[in-house]
Amino acid sequence: MLSDLDTLFEGRRVMAILRGMPQRETVDLATRAWDLGITCVEVPAQTPEALAVLRAVVQAGADRGHWVGAGTVITPTQVDAVADAGAAFTVAPGFDPAVLTASLAQGCPTCPVWPRPARRSRRCGTG
């Protein structure tokens, strides 16, 4: 399991975000990304169907030695679900201390994305 985001992103400049596609197509696209050297893959997990897709991509990644993360993670309950599906990290659209705490408790480093400076300063205040 990953211990931090530095390990995840070290030497990687691109992350493939595979959103809203059927399971087989998502696994195929993740495989293509890995074949092209894009080793950081995220599957947004907003629906029960997306959790099944995430699980399949996690398995395909594990078979090749790659981590797969879950995106659009906005609640602690969702953190638990994606961790159960095997996500190695979470990506959140903004910063929520409860999501951070849940992610770290599951051993999944989290990467909050801040579209506005106010959210960035809120995050920086938590260390």
Q: Which CATH superfamily is domain 5-124 in?
A: Aldolase class I (3.20.20.70)
Q: What angle do CA 112, 54, 9 make, to 5 degrees?
A: 45
Look at residue 113 in the predicted model and tell me its pLDDT. Answer: 81
Give me the pLDDT at residue 9, please: 66
Cα–Cα distances (Å) from 37 to 30, 93, 126, in that order, read: 11, 26, 34
Rounded distance between C-alpha atoms, residue 5 and residue 127, angstroms = 15
State pTM to two decimals.
0.82
Please tell me the predicted confidence (pLDDT) of residue 106.
Answer: 92
Q: ∠ CA 35-55-71 to the nearest 5 degrees?
A: 80
CA–CA distance, 36 with 54 (Å, rounded to integer): 20
Provide the residue-wise pLDDT of the chain in tens; the chain has 127 residues.
455 666 766 776 778 999 999 999 999 999 999 999 998 899 999 898 999 999 999 999 999 999 999 999 999 999 999 999 999 999 998 889 999 999 999 999 988 886 655 544 455 455 4
- The pLDDT tens digits of the residues spanning 5-38 come to 667 667 767 789 999 999 999 999 999 999 999 9
